[in-house]
Amino acid sequence: MTDDSNTDLNDKRRLILDKARDCFLKEGFNKAAMGGIAKAAQISTATLYLHFPSKADLFHHMILDTSEDFVSIMRAVQLGSGLPCERVRAFTRGYASFLADPFVRAVLRLIAAERDRIPQAALDVYVRGKREVGAPLISALRALTAEGGLVVEDAASAAGQLMGMIEHPLFMSAMMLGDDHRTERDIQQIADDAVRTFLARYAPHHPMHETHA
């Protein structure tokens, strides 16, 4: 097969995945039809099945493809440099912006709705999130502890606490109440409140870390 043929196949696959994502997000897994996706991609249903043998297979590959988009957003969620408070704040604001993104919310909601039907798709995204966001945060907290900026004995637990303070108001509330629900705090307030709570627990000056004679 020539390079041009490979390019054509890749372009067609790219188009199919893009149109499939649009259909799945708009209609959900049950209502989205392979015929409708084929029509949106301007191909025959038979051609669609040559690329993806089932709707479940197409959904799974669509989620894997979408997770690539997530990665570019996730990699912007970093602690950065500077004082511990500034580094933790950089992470919380970045993570809050990620979870508040309507596209991210819509995809995560779709994955959650179909996790029993297509568990591998949910697992793949979960594992990728741990690798791209959770693991770097844990490493950063360990580094800050080694530098003396924090006192963290269990970095994984501390990372979970920090992320949870962002996830609950921005993701769990939206999952339960819908994207139209508005929290009393804006994104930056949620992030900064999480920083204050986190540093109150893990900053070296916290009373529980002080040595008493």
> Is the pLDDT assigned to residue 187 strictly greater than 70?
yes
Domain spans of the chain, in order of start? 3-53, 66-209
The stretch 133-158 carries a mean pLDDT of: 93
| Predicted pLDDT of residue 205 | 74
Pick the CATH number of 3-53 from 3.10.450.50, 1.10.10.60, 3.30.200.20, 1.10.1130.10: 1.10.10.60
Separation of CA 152 from chain center: 25
Read off the pLDDT of residues 188-200 as tens digits, 9 standing for 90 and up. 999 999 999 999 9
Confidence (pTM) = 0.78
149 DSSP 8-state letter: S
Q: Which of 78, 117, 113, 114 is nearest to 95 (CA)?
A: 78
Considering only CA atoms, give the Rg of the chain: 21
Confidence grade of residue 212 (pLDDT, cut at 50, 70, 90): very low
Other beta carbons within 10 angstroms of residue 195's beta carbon come to: 21
Measured CA to CA, the distance from residue 159 to residue 133 in angstroms comes to 10
Token pair belonging to 142? 């360990």
Q: Which tens digits make up the pLDDT trace of 45-103?
A: 999 999 999 999 999 999 988 888 777 777 766 676 788 888 899 889 988 988 888 88
* 66-209 belongs to CATH 1.10.357.10: yes
CB 150 within 8 A of CB 204: yes
